């Protein structure tokens, strides 16, 4: 009896591809990346899909194939759904949310109503629209809205200051835009002002949640000032952020791994601006780094590797040594890089490891029909 096959709708292929890419932390761009996905699937569940089938589903220009339902079940299970039907139900709801919210891909010919309202500073309807989304909104939906806001503000021909003043306190803007779509390179106009608006209501002594938010935004600002060579602001902010001493590991247990690793790594930047490279602190941090890497998943490890390697730009010789050591110790985070990172400039290595959604996804979540 022939196995049941399944005609694939374009939007389902899109959703499946970006959710897999988000999990494996690299793009499916050629047969080599499909082979790496095959191996990861095999390692996770001892069952897999052929490289040829993966390429045909995700990358073939004439994607009119009908894979076996069993194949689709395996792909759905790889990203932690029980089967293909559960994935379809989930993504159909997410796609409906995209359509109902008027979210469009950043390069689409037609722009969203939300974009025009923000461009024209017509906030009368925008505020209740964004205010309706509570903290209970799923992370995927927050990401969609955050990405839409990110793309709008990045291309806003007018000032973003009015938007930041009015909307920085709303949950979906704080989490979906500021946190999930963080912009470490400050490509968004007036982003520094926006982070200060994000910080204004926070008291890090009041709760673990506010401590986490405070560390997240302050660390981004410190990094920005450092790479702008604004040493005065680095030292001033560092003195406040580190309060003349570091939060100990126990105090930061409830803090998410991303702001936590930045907090510890950027102490090196603060000390460098004050007195040069702090070798004694580096030894402490490197030991902590490996302790944090041990229980982390692939995405978390990539974030920590990226942060550590980028920060060591202040000590190029040590940066090169640490890269070699980490490639040997954490090979799964480099498996997708073909032929490898040896010989690449630090800038290219940083780009390959970069897990930030603002640079990594770039509209990838938003489905845009062809034609």
Instruction: Show me where the domains of the chain are located.
Output: 10-91, 104-182, 202-365
Positive or negative torsion for Cα 203, 288, 22, 326: positive
The token duo for 199 is 């910080």
| Predicted pLDDT of residue 6 | 67
Give the Cα separation of 234 and 129 in Å (integer).
37
State the DSSP H helix or E strand holding residue 196, giving kind and residue range, or none if neither. helix 191-199
Give residue 80's pLDDT: 94
Beta strands in 43-130 (DSSP E): none
Contact 269, 234 (CB under 8 A): yes
**Segments of the chain with pLDDT less than 50:** 1-2, 363, 367, 369, 371
207-226 pLDDT, tens digit per residue, is 999 999 999 999 999 999 99
Q: What is the pTM of this model?
A: 0.87
**Distance between CA 265 and CA 282 in Å, rounded?**
9
3-class secondary structure per residue, 292-335 = HHCCCCHHHHHHHHHHHHHHHHHCHHHHHHHHHHHHHHCHHHCC
Q: How far apart are CA 236 and CA 249, in angstroms?
A: 23
Q: Tokens standing for 139?
A: 């992370």
Please list, in sequence order, all residues whose beta carbon lies within 8 angstroms of the beta carbon of residue 359, skipping any fewer than 6 positions away. 185
Residue 98: predicted pLDDT: 85
CA distances in angstroms from 118 to 149, 175, 343, listed in the order given? 9, 19, 45
Residue-wise DSSP of 136-147: TS-HHHHHHHHH
Q: What does the pLDDT read at residue 109?
A: 62
């Amino acid at each position: 009896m022939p196995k049941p096959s399944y005609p694939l709708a374009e939007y389902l292929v899109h959703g499946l591809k970006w959710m897999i890419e988000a999990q494996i932390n690299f793009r499916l761009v050629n047969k080599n990346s499909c082979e790496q996905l095959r191996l990861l699937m095999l390692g996770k569940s001892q069952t897999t899909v052929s490289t040829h089938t993966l390429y045909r589903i995700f990358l073939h220009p004439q994607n009119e194939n009908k894979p076996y339902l069993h194949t689709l079940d395996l792909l759905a299970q790889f990203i932690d759904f029980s089967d293909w039907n559960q994935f379809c139900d989930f993504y159909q709801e997410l796609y409906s949310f995209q359509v109902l919210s008027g979210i469009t891909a950043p390069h689409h010919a037609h722009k969203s109503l939300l974009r025009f309202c923000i461009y024209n500073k017509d906030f009368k309807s925008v505020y209740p629209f964004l205010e309706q989304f509570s903290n209970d909104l799923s992370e995927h939906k927050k990401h969609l809205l955050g990405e839409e806001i990110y793309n709008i503000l990045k291309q806003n021909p007018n000032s973003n200051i009015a938007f930041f003043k009015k909307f920085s306190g709303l949950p979906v803007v704080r989490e979906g835009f500021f946190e999930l779509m963080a912009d470490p390179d400050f490509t968004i106009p007036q982003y520094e002002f926006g982070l200060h608006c994000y910080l204004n209501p926070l008291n890090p002594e009041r709760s673990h949640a506010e401590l986490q938010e405070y560390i997240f935004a302050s660390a981004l600002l410190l990094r920005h000032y450092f790479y702008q060579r604004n040493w005065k602001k680095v030292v001033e902010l560092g003195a406040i952020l580190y309060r003349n001493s570091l939060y100990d590991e126990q105090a930061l247990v409830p803090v998410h791994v991303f702001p936590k690793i930045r907090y510890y790594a950027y102490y090196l930047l603060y000390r460098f601006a004050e007195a040069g490279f702090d070798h004694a602190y580096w030894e402490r941090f490197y030991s902590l780094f490996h302790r944090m890497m041990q229980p982390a998943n692939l995405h978390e490890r990539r974030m920590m590797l990226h942060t550590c390697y980028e920060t060591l730009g202040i000590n190029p010789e040590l940066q090169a040594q640490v890269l070699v050591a980490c490639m040997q110790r954490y090979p799964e985070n480099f498996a997708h890089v073909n032929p490898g990172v040896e010989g690449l400039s630090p800038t290219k290595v940083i780009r390959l490891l970069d897990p930030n959604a603002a640079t990594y996804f770039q509209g990838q979540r938003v489905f845009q029909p062809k034609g």
